[in-house]
Each structure stands twice: as structure tokens, then as C-alpha cells.
């Protein structure tokens, strides 16, 4: 890879996207983190993303506003659908949860592709992983291979032979492995936010908290963030 | 196809999308036209789309607001880039024009996919065509084949074996053939708008007007809309 090539990094402010940001930095890319204000119930994730972007001295932190609530159909953007709480961990990943926003990830990836083309970036880093993917279909390797084809065939950059490469370095890692990789890369775990809720402390009960807590526990590493209900569920 | 299945139809208010709407109706679908308010310089297209939706007695006309100007990089959303005028017709389709919005079509198609999933639609109709495609890479059949794969692999519907089918019935038609097809289907040409500008009459000079005028001329059919400069260019 030539020096000073650019990477757009999808940065939600969560654990996985922050470890992915660290990987892009390790690979020598100039960092262009991209976050989405998509009608989430809370803005805490975005605040964390901003802190992480500053921590990594990113070139520019872009926040794209998109109202996915207009489409509807998910507990994360539609207040009439309850966020599931306290599911058994065994259930996570087996069915498609109510927090699934129809086609959300593809919408975000596609916006990232447009932004990457404008910024003349060579790569897009995405922190998806297939093992702890919580039942989202658009977190699987075969999905990303199809999306790479769209990037090659559907963009000016692709047609001109400079197709933007979609990178998803965590795709085959368990949450514990992601925590270990983050530890190796000195990721500022204390700045990351995984909880579906935007309270001062993480709830410790939602799917996302449960997966995170399990990951840190299995990795044998202490999670520096505070939980309302410590040790619950896992 | 079972009776009363639903189709999302991308409806810009232009000639091609209106002929596509007529095709979806002919095929017996319940019509869910979808338009985008994406920071166009003018709203005339959207007004026309509304009239066309009412003409076809659509179930619901959804308008999704998305600010593509946030991404930048195109003459259609960025006022600092001039729209090209008066290019020779031979040039159209040879290079990628300044009106190309990076990744725009894929962004719109992906939003349509999410909406189709929420509405439990079976198909999405898109009025793209490859012959008069004006140099946009995301109007080619191979691009749509790749996008169909994303629809199959990246959505809940696809994973559950109810993949939404992407239909692009005009893909291999010339503009003249589209005009003839519209005539066969009694399309209300007088309600459609193709011009890049939003004046009372079409400019007759932009790429889109030139292609439309050429199409009607070659089809031997009179275009019922008025042009500021009649007969120019073609």
C-alpha cells in the first residue's frame, strides 16, 4: 500500500468500530471516520465517536444525517416498537431481532461508498463481524462480497479501475477476540459505547451490553466502562 | 405472480420512471411509488411525481428526504459545480458527466430496498436504461445483477427466502423505444418532467432535454410538454 492513502472508517462509537479504526491506523491509512445521525434514540454513540475521532487525530470526522425513521420498521428508530431486554445469550444470533432496521447497514455502507468516492479514499473499513452478528443478515462475509461487486460496478471509481476496497477485519472474530485485538492495539475502551440506551451508565441488560460483557469476560480483560447492573446476564 | 402483490416503483417524475410505473401497473402490482427529496436544485420533479402517483391511483406515494448535498461532488446538488449545457449529443454517454452524484443511484436503490422490506413488497421497479445512460455506471445490467445479490444476501426478506426482485424493464431500450412503450401504455407524458432545471418550461438544452427530444423525434411522436427553445440541439 502506498503511503498516505485514505480510508473511510465507519465509526459508530462502539467497541467494534473503534477496534476497526485502530486497525486502519495500524495499516498506515489517513483516517476519515464517518458516523451517522440516523434518528437513533440517543446521541451518546455519536458523542463517543467524536471523542474517538479526536483521540486518533483523524483528518476529519464526518457525520451524515439520515432519517431512517422515515422508512420505519425497527425498534432502534421507531418508538412504537419495544427494544428487547434480557434475552438469553443463547438466543442472540439465532433469529433476526426487533432492532433490525430494514436494510440499514447497506444504506450506511452505500452512503460511505459515495463519501469515499468524493474523498478519493482507497478503502472503507467496516467493523462488522459474523460470529456475534446478532442475527443481522448484512454482517456476513457473503454479503460483503456482493457489496464489493456493487462498489466495483456502480461507481465512477470502479469503472475507472480504482475500485474502493471494502475491508472488514473483524468479520471472523468473536467478541472476546475483538477485545484482545483492541488490547493489542491500545484501543481507548473507556471512550467506547455499546449500550442501546443513552443513560450515564450502560444498562448491562440489552443484547449489545450482554455481548460486550461476555467478550471482556472471556478475554479476561476488565471493561473500563460502568454498568448500572454489573455482571447481569452473562 | 399472485394477485395483489406489491411493487415499490422509483418515481422521479421523469419520462422513464413514469413508463416504468405503467409497466408495473400492467403487470398487476399494487403500486407504491417512492420519490426522493435529495437536495435537488428544484422541486418540479417531485411535484410531477405527485401528479403521476395520483393519476395512477397509487396506494401511497412516499417521499423520502435525504440530503445528498452533505456528501457533495455533483452539479445536481452542489451549487459550486456548473451543470453542463449544450454538449453535442454524441458526447452524451461517452464520459461520466458532472451531474454524476457519487453513488447516488445505489443510495436510492438501497433506501428503496429498505422501504420495500417494510412494506412487504415483492418487487422494486427501476426505470434505468443502459443505452441512453448518459455515462452513469450504476445504470448498467451488470450493476443491477450485483445489486440483486445484495438484496438477496443483505436483507431479512432475502435470508427468509422472500428476496425482493429488482426489475428494470427499460434497461435495453433506446429513448425512442421508451417513448413508443409509453404510448402503448397510455402514459400521461404531459405530466412528466425531464429537464435538469425547474423553470415553467423545459430548457431544451440540458443533456436530459436533448435525450428526451431526440427520443420523441425518433419515435415520431409529439412531446406534449413545452420547451423554452423548441427543436434545439436534436
What lies within 8 Å, CB to CB, of B115 at 6+ separation is: A71, A102, B8, B32, B34, B62, B64, B121
Chain A residue with CA closest to B141: the answer is A153
Assigned CATH for B6-219? 3.40.50.620
Distance CA B23, CA B31 (A): 11
Confirm or reject contact between B216 and chain A (CB < 8 A): no
Sheet with A165-167, strands from edge to edge, namely A62-65, A30-37, A6-10, A123-125, A165-167
CB atoms within 10 A of CB A10: 24
What is the strand order of the sheet B6-10 is part of? B62-65, B30-37, B6-10, B123-125, B165-167
Residue position matching grid coordinates 428494470: B168
Q: Which 3 state secondary structure label does DSSP give A125? A: strand
Per-residue pLDDT of chain A (234 residues; tens, 9 = 90+): 455 799 999 999 999 999 999 999 999 999 999 998 876 767 898 999 999 999 999 999 999 887 777 776 554 444 444 444 444 444 444 444 555 567 788 989 999 999 998 889 999 999 998 875 556 788 889 999 999 999 999 888 888 888 899 999 999 999 999 999 999 999 999 999 999 888 899 999 998 899 999 999 999 999 999 999 655 444
pLDDT tens-place string over residues A151-195: 999 888 888 888 899 999 999 999 999 999 999 999 999 999 999
What does the pLDDT look like over B14-40, one tens digit per residue?
999 999 999 999 999 999 999 988 767
DSSP string, B194-233: --SS-SSSB-S-SHHHHHHHHHHHHHT----S-BSSTT--
Grid cell 440483486 in the structure block, residue: B148
Contact between chains at B107 and A102 (C-beta distance less than 8 A) = no
Q: Does B141 touch chain A (CB under 8 A)?
A: no
- Tell me the C-alpha distance between B121 and B150, whole Å: 16
- Cβ–Cβ below 8 Å for B103 and A113: yes
CA angle B151, B67, B54 (to 5 degrees): 70
Residue A66 with chain B: CB contacts under 8 Å? 66-67
Relative orientation angle of helices A15-26 and A44-55, to the nearest 10 degrees: 20
Size of interface A-B (CB pairs under 8 A): 134
Choose, out of A99, A114, A140, the residue to mutate when testing the contact with B (most B CBs < 10 Å).
A114
Q: By the 8 A CB rule, do B155 and A103 touch?
A: yes
- Going by C-beta distance under 8 Å and a sequence separation of 6 or more, which residues neighbour residue B56? B21, B22, B25, B31, B33
User: CA of B63: which chain A residue's CA is closest?
Assistant: A70
HSE-up (13 A, CA, CB side) for residue B155 = 29
User: Among B65, B105, B152, whose Cβ lies nearest the Cβ of A67?
Assistant: B65
pLDDT of residue A225: 96
Contact A150 B153 (CB under 8 A): no
Percent of chain A with pLDDT over 90: 57
Chain centroid offset of residue A114 CA: 18
Confirm or reject contact between B154 and chain A (CB < 8 A): yes
B118/A64 touch (CB, cutoff 8 Å), yes or no: no
Here the cell at position B228 is 423554452
Give chain A positions within 8 Å (CB) of B124: none
Nearest to A153 among B66, B68, B143 (CB): B143
Contact status, residue A174 vs residue A211, Cβ threshold 8 Å: no
The H-assigned helical ranges of chain B are 15-26, 44-55, 104-118, 141-153, 156-159, 175-184, 207-219
Residue of B nearest to A71 (CA): B115
Name the stretches of chain B with pLDDT < 70: 1-3, 39, 41, 72-101, 132-135, 229-234
CB atoms B103 and A96 under 8 Å: no
| Dist CA A119 CA A34 (whole Å) | 11
**CA distances from residue A53 to A28, A32, A151, A179, B194 in whole angstroms, order as listed:** 16, 9, 25, 19, 42
| Identity of the residue in A71, A147, A152 whose CB atom sits nearest the CB atom of B150 | A147
B1 touches chain A (CB under 8 A): no
Strand-pair category, A62-65 with A123-125:
unpaired
A28: left (phi over 0), alpha (psi -120 to 50) or beta: left
Q: Cell 445504470 sits at which residue? A: B139
DSSP A131-186: TT-TT-GGGSHHHHHHHHHHHHHSSHHHHTT-PPEEE-TTTT--HHHHHHHHHHTT
Residue A130 has a pLDDT of 80
Chain A: residue whose CA lies nearest to B34: A71
Contact A68, A39 (CB under 8 A): yes
Identify the helix (H) or strand (E) that includes residue A115. helix A104-118
CA proximity to B8, closest of B128, B118, B152? B118
Return d(Cα B142, Cα B85) in angstroms, integer: 30
What length does chain A have? 234
- Name the DSSP class of A91: G
Give the model's pLDDT for residue A229: 65
Q: Is the dihedral of CA A198, A216, A224, A8 positive or negative?
A: negative
Amino acid at each position: 500500500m502506498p503511503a498516505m492513502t485514505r480510508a473511510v472508517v465507519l465509526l459508530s462509537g462502539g467497541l467494534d468500530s473503534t477496534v476497526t479504526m485502530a486497525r486502519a491506523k495500524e495499516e498506515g491509512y489517513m483516517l476519515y471516520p464517518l458516523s451517522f445521525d440516523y434518528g437513533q434514540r440517543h446521541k451518546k454513540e455519536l458523542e463517543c465517536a467524536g471523542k474517538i475521532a479526536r483521540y486518533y487525530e483523524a483528518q476529519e470526522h464526518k457525520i451524515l444525517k439520515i432519517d431512517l425513521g422515515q422508512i420505519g420498521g425497527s425498534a432502534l428508530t421507531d418508538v412504537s416498537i419495544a427494544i428487547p431486554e434480557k434475552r438469553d445469550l443463547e438466543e442472540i444470533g439465532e433469529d433476526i431481532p426487533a432492532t433490525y432496521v430494514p436494510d440499514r447497514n447497506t444504506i450506511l455502507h452505500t452512503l460511505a461508498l459515495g463519501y469515499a468516492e468524493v474523498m478519493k479514499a482507497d478503502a472503507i473499513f467496516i467493523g462488522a463481524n459474523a460470529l456475534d452478528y446478532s442475527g443481522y443478515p448484512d454482517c456476513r462475509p457473503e454479503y460483503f462480497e456482493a457489496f464489493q461487486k456493487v462498489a466495483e460496478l456502480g461507481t465512477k471509481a470502479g469503472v475507472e479501475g480504482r475500485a474502493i476496497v471494502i475491508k472488514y477485519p473483524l468479520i471472523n472474530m468473536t467478541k472476546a477476540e475483538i477485545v484482545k485485538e483492541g488490547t493489542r492495539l491500545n484501543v481507548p475502551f473507556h471512550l467506547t459505547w455499546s449500550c442501546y440506551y443513552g443513560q450515564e451508565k450502560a444498562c448491562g441488560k440489552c443484547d449489545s451490553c450482554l455481548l460486550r460483557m461476555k467478550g471482556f469476560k472471556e478475554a479476561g480483560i476488565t471493561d473500563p466502562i460502568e454498568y448500572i447492573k454489573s455482571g447481569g446476564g452473562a
